Structure 1
C-alpha cells in the first residue's frame, strides 16, 4: 500500500487547505486507509473519507428531501408482505407455485434492489431482457407494487435517494476528489459520481497484481496501478526477482490450524497489533477463533463481528423459540434456567428449586398444564398446611407455597404474551411476546451480552410496526430465526493491542505488516460460481448497466485475495485444513495455496500430489491449552508414565487410575460391585422391614449392579414428561390407560359374560371417556397424532373384548388389582427352601377362577411379546412374577398350595394380538422358583452386586453411563464373575441355569 499512501500524501501537500474527499466503498476501507496514512507519519488538514451514498445524501439534504434510507431489514419484511398479498390475489404466474419463505423474499428483495440500482423502474422495465416472459411480468408486477408502497408510505430506498441526488447534482468547484481504485459502483452511483466530480479528481493507486486476467472496469471503477511488491508475482513466477516473505503449512483440523497460527504469533514475540488473520469461511473459523482466544487469553477484534448466539440474549431468544415450538415443554425451559439466561429477580425461587418443582410436578408441556397443575399443587399444599400446628414442617410447606404462588403468577404473565399452540400465528404478536420476555428477563452480565440484548430489541422494534400478518406456525418461526439469529454483534475495526480477525474480502487496505490467511482449501476458496435463478447471467448481460455477472465471481475473488497479499509489506502465511471431520474425508488445497507453495519453495513444477507430502499431524508439539497435553498422551505409541507431580496436582486422577487398575484385574472388588454392609441390612429374611417385590427381584436377576445403583444407592435418572411432536402417550401412560379401561369394563358389566356383539359399544364409550380425561392431563401434539393413537387404543379394546368372550367360557374374573404389602394392605409371606420367610409386596392385575375351581393369575402387558417364550419359564431369573405372585396370593388368602395352577402374561394389544404366555405353576416350577428366590436374596445378604453376564440386558438400561460395563475386557469380566474367592458369585451364576 506504499504507492497509495505516498500518492495521497503528495496530493495533500499539493492541496494543503482545500477540502479533500476520498471516495471509498465503505467506512471500514476509509478507516483502514486513514490508519495506514497516520502510521506512515503523514498528516493532513481537511481530508475526509466518504461513500457515494454520503455524497448523495448531502445533495438531497440541500434540496430538503428525505435523507434516511429505508432500513434493509424493514424493506425485506415489506417485500415479504407484498409477495404474500400479490400471491393471494392470483397475480403471479411464474412464481405462483413458490412458497413465500424468508429466503425467497430475500432473493426477490436483492433482485429488485439490483434492478433499481441499475436505474430500472416500473416505467422502463426491460421485459425483453428475460428468457421467460412470465418471470419478467412477475418481477415487473413486484417492482411496481414495491415502488407504489414506497410512494404511499412516503419512504425512499438507496436507489430513490440516488435518483433524487442525480436530479440536483452538479460538479463541485471547491473540493478535491480522490477515488479508491476498483470502486464497486452501481449504475446509479456511477451516474451520480460523474455529475459531481470536478476535472481535477485523482485515482488512488494499488500495488500491482500480475499474471492473471483482471476483471473489466469502467473509467470510474478502473484500477490505477502503483509499484509491484514481492507478492505481486504469485501468478507470474517467471518475472519474480525478489525472495518473498511467504510461508505455508497444512493442519489436520481447523482447530489445529488456528493453534499453529497462535503459536507462531506467540513465538515471534512481537505485538498482537502487528498481525491480522484473514479467513475464507466465517462459519468454519469465527467460533473456533473466539473460544481459542478466550482459553489462551488473547485479545481479538472481529471485523465482521460475532454471531448473536455468542451472547446470552442471543441464546435466550433461540431457547425461547425452542420452548414455544415444543409447545412449552419443560425441558427447553429448564435449559434457559440452567444456562443462567433468565434473570427472574430477587423474589423468585432459586433456579434449582424451580427446576425441582417443574420436574416433580410432571408438567410435561402445554400452557394449560403449567397453570392447572401448579394451581392444583397450591390447593393441596394449602390444605396440608391448614392441618398442621406451627413448626418446622409448616414453615417448610409455607416456603413451598410462596414459591409456587410466584411461579403461578410468573407463568400466567408470560403466557399472556406468548402464542398458543396453533397452526397459524400472528407474526407481530409473536415478536412482541419475545421482545417483552427478553426485555424484562434477559440476563446481561458484561458488555457483550448488553450489546447483544440491545441489538435484538432494536431489530424487533424496527420490524414490529410492519409485521401485523398471520402465517403458518412454521413460517413465523422461520422468519423470526432468519431475522434475529442472523444478527452479528461487536463488529470492530483493528484496535491497538489486539489481533484483528476478518474476512479477506475486507482486507485490501489493511495496515498491519504480518498476515495469516487460513482456510485456503478448495471448498472455501474461491468457491463455486452459481447463477441466481431470479436473474440469470444471460439476463444480466442483456440488462447491462453494471449488474454483476455471477459467472465472473471466481475471477473477482481471486483478484481480491491477490490484492490483499500484494499490499502486505511484512510476512504472509497461508494455510488450509486437510481433513473434513463432519464429512470424514480428505480435503484438497486451493490452487492459490499451490501457487504460494511454488513461489515460497522455488519449485515451479510442484503439483497437488506434491502438497500431499506436507506434514499434517493430529497432535501439536507445543501445548497451547490443557487438552493439547492429553491429546499428546493419547496419540503417542509408547505408554507414558504419569509422574507424581501431576497426580499430586490432580488427586481425582490418582483415584481414577487406582479404580481402573482394580477394574482391569481379575479379582471381584468394590470397584466392580462388592459392597461391605452390616449383616442383615438388606437381607429380607433378617430385616423384616425390607419388603421384596417381583420387580426388584427380577432386576437383581437381570443385573445385580443396576439394582445396587437404583435401590441401594438410590440413583435415579432425571424423569420428565417430554414433548414429542410425533407421539402423545408414552408407553407407561398408555399402559395405565389400557389397564383402567379393562378394569372399569368388567366392573361396568357386573358379572355378565363379555360379548363382542353386546359390549363393543360400551367398551368404546368407556375408553373414549378415559381418553378424554387423559387428554385434559396431557394435551396431544396434534389432532392427527391424537386420532392415530385413539384408533390404536380402540383397536386394543376390540382385541381385548373378542379374546375375553372366548376366555370367559372357562374362566370368570375374581379379583382386580389384588394388592398386598402396599398402603394399608398387609404383605404376603413366602417361605424359602431354607425355611426362612420373606415379606412380599405387589399388585396383581387380575385373578380369574377356572371352571374347575382353580385360580389363574393374569398380568396385562401392553407392549409386544418380545422376550416372552413358552419354553423359557424363568428366563435366567428375569421372569419371576408369575411364580412369586402364585405363592403370595395363596398365602395371603389362606389357600392350599397348588390352588393357583396357572399364571399368564396377557397381551391384549395390536402388537400382542391377544397372546397369552401361560406358566403352569406345577411342583417343578415352584421348586425351581423358590431356589432362584433364595439365591437372589443371597446376593442382597453378601453385597455381591456383579454386573449382568449378558450384554443384551444393557440395551434399555438407565444406568449404562454409570456402570460402564462396555469398557471391561470380556475375558476379564468373565474372570471377575467367576472369582473363586467369592462363593456368592457362584450362587448367582446358578440362577442363569434356570430357563
Structure 2
C-alpha cells in the first residue's frame, strides 16, 4: 500500500490518478471518497482523459460500509438505527435511569431538553472507540456514564437494532470475508477522514484483502494519518514554495517563514457586515467569470453557514450567479417546524400562540375544494366523527423506507430518498385549489380571538368572534351603511368559519392524545396527523420512519418525544438541487476534501466565527477521557481539527484564494476584528505577523466597501442594476450641479416605476391641478362612472357625506371607492370601540322600549328610581345575552367595560329625567333605507325600508337613534346619541359640513313621515362627552344650509373635482394617510385656490 501526505489537493489528486493509470487494464478499482460527490468528480475528471473507462466504483466510506453490512444485518434481522433513532434510545436510557433513581451526577440535568442529544453524542463516541460500560470507571460522571452506556446497549439488543458502532463492526466483519463485495478491487482512499477506532478497523480490513491500495491525505489530519501509519510508510510531498504552495507550506508551520511580499494570487478583503461580505464575494465571482473561470471551478468554503448561507444565496441571486449548496448545509425546514409547533401546542394545553406559529409557516394543506370541506366540519364540528374514523386507519405507510440523510442509508435507500425528496419539494403539474379561501388571514384572527388555550375555549372564542363581527356590522349599518368595512366584516366572518372548520377538528384530535405512550403509538399518532396539517409531509414522515425501530420502547411522555424530534424536524440538511456543474460550489471546508477549484473563497475569518471556539464534551470532560486512554478527542485534537478546516480550503485552490472577514457585527452594531487565522494567512505569505490595524487597513483597501453607501465606486463593478445606479449617483453627488444635471436621466428611461414616482412627485408639487393629484376633472370615460355615484342616483349615509368637508379625496376613497384602512388589534385591556358602541346603543334602545311598554315615558324625577331599575334590568339582559355569544377573552375586561357602560347610562338617565323640556320619546332606532327586517336587527318596527329623498333630489339612508314628540306642540325632535367627546361648538348648524345629522336627519324625517320637525340635536351621552346636548333649530336658514351642503357635494362628483384638499389638521386622524403621504397639507398651500371655491364655501358654513 502507498500513503501520500500533501497540503495541496491538486498534488494528492495527481497521485490518485497515477495509481489508477498504473492499474492493469482488467483491474477493478474501488474509489472511496470523503463523500460520494468527491469520488464522482474525481472519476469524471479521469474519464475525460481516456477513450473509455471501466471497472471504477465510486462510493463514500459509509456507503461501502452499508453495502458490506446489509447482507449480514438482513440475515440477523437487525435494523440500522439512524442518528435520530440513536438519540431516541439515549433519551430512553436516561429516562429509565432517572425513573429508577440510579443516576447521581447527572440527576439534576437529566430532564433538561438538550441532555438526550448530548448523551447520544457521548455514548456513540464511546461505542465507536470500542469502550464498554465495564471500562468506564472512576469518580464524578464516570459511574453514571457506565450505567447509561450499559442501558444504551441493552435498548438496542431489545429492539434488534444496531447503532453506528455496531453497524461499522458488522461492515468490518463483512470486509473480512474474501468473497464479499469489492474483495478483488484495488482500493483508492481519496482524502477519506478516519475519526474513530471502528472506522479504522473497517479500513484495515478492506486493505488486508485488497490486491493493492493507495491513500492520499491532507496535511493536518492527524487522526487519519495515525490510522494509516500501521499499514504503510507515509510519503510527504512538499509544495514547491511559490504562490499558493508557499501559503500551504507555511500555514501553521512551526518553522520560520522566509520574508516575502503579499501574493497576487491571494486577496484579503473586508466588508462592513456579513451581508456586504457576501456581496463582495459575488462581485469577485463575476470578475473571475469575466476572466474565463467557469462558475463550477469556483467554491466558497463556509465555516459559519448559519450566518452566511442565506446572505450568500441572496447576494448570488442578485448577481445572477447559479449556486450549488452541498449536502450538509442546514436550513430551517418549514414543514418540520410547523409540525413541532403543533406538538408544542399540545404541550402548552392547546396554545393558540403555538397554533398561530404553525399557521405562520404556510403549511395548511391543499385539498379538493373549499365548499365541501367547510360543509363537512362546521363551527361546532359537525362531521368530526367521520374524520376520526378515518384517522384510526392512518399510520406509517408500508412503503415508507427509513431514508435518513445519514450516509449509513446513502446506499440502502437512495431510490426511496429521491422519491421522498421529489414529493416534498416538487411542484404539482397544476396549482391545486385550497380548501379554504384565506388561511393566511387565520393567524391574525387567532390573535384577535384571544383563544389562549383549551379545546372548550377554542370553540367559545371563535363563536364569540363571529358574534362580535355581527355586532360591529350592526353598528356600522346604523351609522355608516356604505362603509367598506361592512364587506370586510362579512368576509372576516366567513374566514373565521373557515378557520373553525379546519382548526377545531385538529384541536379535538390533539386534545385526545395521551400523556404517555409507547414510541409505536406516538409514531402512529404523528403519522396520522402529518398529512392532515402539512402541505408537504414527506420529510416529516421520513423522520418518523427513522424512529420505527424504537417502536417497542416506552412508555414515553410527549415532552420526551418532542425533544427527540426537535433537532431533526426544526432544520434539515439542504438537499442539492440538480448537478453542481455550471454552479458555484458552496459547502463546508470538509466538503472540499478530494476536490480542487481554480478559485476558492474563505469568508468569516473573524473572531468567534473562524476558528470556532473548541468546547469540551459537557458529559465527559477531557480529564476523564485521558483516564480512559481510548483515543478519545480532547481540546488539542479539536484545535487541530479547526486548523484542518483552513488547510483544506487553502489546499483546494489552484489559481486564486480570496480570504475575507466582516468588520461590523450588524446584528449588535459593534465592530468585529480579524481572527488569528487571518493573521496566519498573512504570515504565511509575508513571513511576519502584521499588526491588527495594518491588516484591517489592507483588507479595507481591497474592497473599499462602506456602510454609508452600499455600492462600489466603479459602476462597472456592480453586481446588479441597483448597485450600478447607486454607484452612478455616488459620483454625481460630488459633481457641480451644472455637470451633474441630466446624467441620471437614463434611470427614468429604464425604470418605469421610478419614472412614474418621480414624475408624480413633480406634478403634485406644481400649482396647477392635474390627474396626478387625484380625481380633478371628468372625461368621456370617467363621466358615466361618476354619474352613478351622484347623490340623486346612489344612496349615501350622513357619516359618508361628512367626509367630504374633511377632505374630498377621503370621501372619494372611503365612500365611492369604499376602501377601508387595515384593522389594528385592540389591546386586551380594552373592548373594541364598535362593539362597545353597539352594546351601549342596544342597552339604550332596550331601556326605552321597556319603559314605553309600561307607559312610563318620558322619564321624570318622580319616575327616576324605577327608571334606573329598568335600566339595570335592560343592561343586564343585553350583557347576559351578548356575553354568551361573545365569550369574552378576558372576563375582567368585560366586567370593567360593562361597569363603565352602566355608569354612563345611569348618569344619562339622571340627566334626561331632570331635563323637563316636554319631549316624549316615541321611536327608537328608527331606520330608513336599510336592508333587513327591522325586528331581526333591533330597529324600530315602523322603520321605512326605502331611502328618503331630500329636496326631491338627494337620496339618503340611515338610522335615527331617538325620535321625540313635544307634549303640547306635537312637533318632532331628532336626537343622535354620541359616545365620544363633544367636538362641536354651540350655535352650529352643519359645522362646516362636518356634522350633518341634526339638520339632514330632521329633513329626512319630515320627508318620510310628513310631519314638522322642530329641531335636531346631538346628545353626548357619556362621561367623555360631558352629557352635553347641542341642538339645531330647523328654521328656513338651516334647511337651506343643509340642502346647499348636498348640492356642493353633488356638484363636486358631477364635475369630477375630488382632490386631496384636507381641512386644517384633517390628515392627523385620516385612515388613508398611507395613500396620500404626510405632505399633502404643505403641497395644498401651493395649489391654485380657485377650483376650491365650493369647498371653502362649505367649510365657512356655521
TM-score over 0.5 for the alignment? yes
Aligned to 1:945: 1058
Structure 1 residues 195-594: aligned runs within 5 Å: 198=208, 204=215, 206=217, 219-220=226-227, 225-228=236-239, 229-232=245-248, 233-235=250-252, 238-239=257-258, 243=263, 245-252=265-272, 253-290=276-313, 298-304=321-327, 342=366, 344=368, 418-420=506-508, 428=523, 431-433=526-528, 435-437=530-532, 455-463=539-547, 482-491=567-576, 495-537=580-622, 540-541=625-626, 545-549=630-634, 553-594=638-679
Deviation of 1:715 (Å): 3.5
Question: What secondary structure, in the 3-state scheme, does the structure 2 residue paired with 1:641 have?
Answer: coil
Provide Cα deviations, 1:459-517, integer angstroms capped at 9, x if missing partner. 34445786899999999888777544522343379744333221223224322232222
Paired residues of 1:418 and 1:430 also in contact (CA < 8 A): no
Distance 1:35 1:307 in 2: 27
Distance 2:821 2:1096 in 1: 31
Deviation of 1:561 (Å): 0.8
Deviation of 1:94 (Å): 6.7
Q: Does 1:114 align with 2:230?
A: no
Deviation of 1:959 (Å): 3.0
Question: What secondary structure, in the 3-state scheme, does the structure 2 residue paired with 1:569 have?
Answer: strand
What's the TM-score, normalizing by structure 2? 0.67
Provide Cα deviations, 1:827-877, integer angstroms capped at 9, x if missing partner. 56778xxxx98554322445689999996846354xxx6796989989986
Distance 1:728 1:143 in 2: 57
Question: What secondary structure, in the 3-state scheme, does the structure 2 residue paired with 1:548 have?
Answer: coil
Q: Structure 2 vs 1, CA of residues 87 and 520 (structure 1 numbering), >3 Å: closer, same or farther?
A: same
Deviation of 1:260 (Å): 0.9
Q: Structure 2 vs 1, CA of residues 838 and 455 (structure 1 numbering), >3 Å: closer, same or farther?
A: closer
Aligned to 1:959: 1072
Question: What secondary structure, in the 3-state scheme, does the structure 2 residue paired with 1:526 have?
Answer: coil
Distance 2:1091 2:199 in 1: 91
Q: 2:87 aligns with which of 76, 93, 102?
A: 76
Deviation of 1:817 (Å): 1.9
* Segment of structure 1 superposing worse, 36-45 or 292-301: 36-45
Q: Structure 2 vs 1, CA of residues 357 and 507 (structure 1 numbering), >3 Å: closer, same or farther?
A: closer
Distance 1:802 1:221 in 2: 94
Distance 1:593 1:925 in 2: 89
Q: Does 1:816 align with 2:924?
A: yes
Q: Structure 2 vs 1, CA of residues 308 and 871 (structure 1 numbering), >3 Å: closer, same or farther?
A: farther
Deviation of 1:600 (Å): 5.9
* Segment of structure 1 superposing worse, 740-749 or 698-707: 740-749
Aligned to 1:774: 886
* Structure 2 unmatched runs, 5+: 1-8, 240-244, 374-430, 450-457, 468-494, 515-521, 734-739, 857-864, 932-943
* Segment of structure 1 superposing worse, 709-718 or 165-174: 165-174
Deviation of 1:971 (Å): 4.1
Distance 1:583 1:205 in 2: 44
* Segment of structure 1 superposing worse, 288-297 or 608-617: 288-297
Deviation of 1:974 (Å): 3.0
Deviation of 1:256 (Å): 1.7
Q: 2:1086 aligns with which of 960, 972, 975?
A: 975
Deviation of 1:121 (Å): 4.5
Question: What secondary structure, in the 3-state scheme, does the structure 1 residue paired with 2:654 have?
Answer: coil
Provide Cα deviations, 1:670-702, integer angstroms capped at 9, x if missing partner. 322342249999799984344443321343343
* Segment of structure 1 superposing worse, 815-824 or 802-811: 802-811
Provide Cα deviations, 1:217-272, integer angstroms capped at 9, x if missing partner. 88327797431322222456833679562123334414422421331232112333
Distance 2:176 2:434 in 1: 71
Q: Structure 2 vs 1, CA of residues 361 and 333 (structure 1 numbering), >3 Å: closer, same or farther?
A: closer
Q: Structure 2 vs 1, CA of residues 82 and 262 (structure 1 numbering), >3 Å: closer, same or farther?
A: same
Question: What secondary structure, in the 3-state scheme, does the structure 1 residue paired with 2:597 have?
Answer: coil
Distance 1:351 1:175 in 2: 51
Provide Cα deviations, 1:397-439, integer angstroms capped at 9, x if missing partner. xxxxxxxxxx999999977984448668576466335542489
Provide Cα deviations, 1:93-148, integer angstroms capped at 9, x if missing partner. 77777696865543343233234334445544446153xx9xx64x6665454433
Q: Structure 2 vs 1, CA of residues 916 and 981 (structure 1 numbering), >3 Å: closer, same or farther?
A: closer
Provide Cα deviations, 1:499-545, integer angstroms capped at 9, x if missing partner. 32212232243222322223333353223344554445555555553
* Structure 1 unmatched runs, 5+: 377-406, 443-452
Provide Cα deviations, 1:940-992, integer angstroms capped at 9, x if missing partner. 523543436589755665433332x23x487434323x73564345446647x
What's the TM-score, normalizing by structure 1? 0.73
Aligned to 2:995: 880
Provide Cα deviations, 1:27-84, integer angstroms capped at 9, x if missing partner. 4555566567667889897787663784597379569546742022333345556666
Q: Which has the higher contact order (CA 8 A, sep 6+)?
A: 2
Deviation of 1:569 (Å): 2.6
* Segment of structure 1 superposing worse, 239-248 or 947-956: 947-956
Q: 2:766 aligns with which of 636, 644, 665?
A: 665
Distance 2:510 2:1039 in 1: 55
Aligned to 2:1031: 921
Distance 1:499 1:922 in 2: 78
Provide Cα deviations, 1:760-787, integer angstroms capped at 9, x if missing partner. 5774465233222234xxxx7xxxx343
Distance 1:709 1:239 in 2: 77
Structure 1 residues 61-100: aligned runs within 5 Å: 64-65=75-76, 68-80=79-91
Distance 1:894 1:471 in 2: 80
Provide Cα deviations, 1:288-330, integer angstroms capped at 9, x if missing partner. 444555566544432126767799x889989999999869999
Deviation of 1:921 (Å): 1.8
Paired residues of 1:303 and 1:501 also in contact (CA < 8 A): yes
Distance 2:356 2:13 in 1: 61
Distance 1:934 1:284 in 2: 66
Q: Structure 2 vs 1, CA of residues 474 and 182 (structure 1 numbering), >3 Å: closer, same or farther?
A: closer
Distance 2:504 2:252 in 1: 64
Distance 2:635 2:1100 in 1: 76
Paired residues of 1:526 and 1:557 also in contact (CA < 8 A): yes
Distance 2:186 2:279 in 1: 49
Deviation of 1:616 (Å): 0.8
Q: 1:158 aligns with which of 164, 171, 184?
A: 164
Q: 1:628 aligns with which of 707, 723, 726?
A: 723
Aligned to 1:859: 977
Q: Does 1:712 align with 2:816?
A: yes
Q: 1:619 aligns with which of 711, 718, 731?
A: 711
Q: Structure 2 vs 1, CA of residues 989 and 525 (structure 1 numbering), >3 Å: closer, same or farther?
A: farther
Aligned to 2:742: 641
Deviation of 1:565 (Å): 0.5
Paired residues of 2:80 and 2:167 also in contact (CA < 8 A): yes
Q: Structure 2 vs 1, CA of residues 802 and 352 (structure 1 numbering), >3 Å: closer, same or farther?
A: farther
Distance 1:921 1:244 in 2: 89
Q: Structure 2 vs 1, CA of residues 664 and 482 (structure 1 numbering), >3 Å: closer, same or farther?
A: farther
